[in-house]
Amino acid sequence: MEREDGLAQGRKLVAGARRVAVLTGAGISAESGLATFRDSGGLWENHRVEDVATPQAFARDPVLVWEFYNARRRAGAQARPNPGHLALAALEQRKESVVIITQNVDGLHQKAGSTRVVELHGNIWRARCARCGRAAADLPVEVPFLSYCASCPGLLRPDIVWFGEALAPRDLEAAAAALQDCGLFMVVGTSAQVQPAASFAFAAVGRGVGVIEVNKEETPLSSLVSVSLRGEAGEVLPALLFV
């Protein structure tokens, strides 16, 4: 579909919706300078992310896992919301509700001003005790190796959902409610490979509600959605939402 036609069709869907749900992935933070999962080929320092972002990796080598997260916390500390995050935050002024369901752990949607954000995979700025679950607050950007819980001998771990770990029921429920309630579902910057996050986008297609995808490249969703816009989120979202 021609870009202009796609934008025109997308703008119509946006204009006609009162309640919007948006699934975002690493692609929306790429223009804030944060590497996506795929662009780095799913690698970090020659480790496959799936081999580092797991409870087994943390049990085996907690220092390696904290090196991985400290590297991302260092990068995240420099990152600012980009026009894509800001356009989604500004949309709240014009809609009854905008719920962001994000796979990202960088906190940039909240920094941009979005007030309803479901963090399906946790948040890189939070840590918790691996043993008793107690949250650890005010940690430095680089968490010292090895930090321990204030209440028990447990090690602190990033408050992140790792591969093989279940997502929090309350987040799954919030995402499902937003999916059921919305009149428009948008999918931005995700390769739609990670489950169960991607399932919300496929369920939106199944629900028959309008679905707009914004992505730099084709994904398994592209042929199924109402409108698939190819391009960078920081450029397409403002054109889609505010022109």
Q: Strand locations in 39-190, DSSP E?
A: 43-44, 47-48, 97-102, 117-119, 122-129, 135-136, 156-160, 184-188
Site for ligand BV8 in 167-196 (CB under 6 A): 189-191, 193-195
Binding test (CB under 6 A) with ligand BV8, winner from 125, 148, 163, 202: 163
**Partner from Zn ion, ligand BV8, none binding residue 216, C-beta < 5-8 Å depending on class:** ligand BV8
- The answer to whether residue 134 forms part of the interface with Zn ion (CB under 5 A) is yes
Catalytic residue among 47, 85, 109, 121: 121
Q: Considering only the stretches 34-42, 142-150, 208-216, 218-226, report the one whose residues sit in contact with Zn ion under the rule CB under 5 A.
A: 142-150
Please count the CA atoms within 13 angstroms of the CA of 144 that sit on its side-chain side: 5
When binding is defined by CB under 6 A, the residue of 25, 76, 81, 83 that contacts ligand BV8 is 25
The answer to the question of residue 95 lying near Zn ion (CB under 5 A) is: no
Which residues contact residue 241 at a Cβ distance below 8 angstroms, ignoring those fewer than 6 apart?
Answer: 14, 87, 88, 90, 91
- Say how far apart CA 82 and CA 171 lie, in whole Å: 25
C-alpha to C-alpha distance for 127 and 136, rounded to whole angstroms: 5
Indicate the length of the chain as a whole number. Answer: 243
Regarding 241 and contact with ligand BV8 (CB under 6 A), the answer is no
**Is 137 or 243 the residue whose CB approaches Zn ion more closely?**
137
- Would you call 85 a catalytic residue per the annotation? no
Helix (H) or strand (E) holding 211: strand 210-215
Bridge partners, residue 48, by sequence: 43
The binding site for ligand BV8 (CB under 6 A) comprises 25-27, 30-31, 36-38, 50, 53, 103-105, 121, 160-166, 189-191, 193-195, 215-217, 219, 232-233
Q: Which residues are catalytic?
A: 121
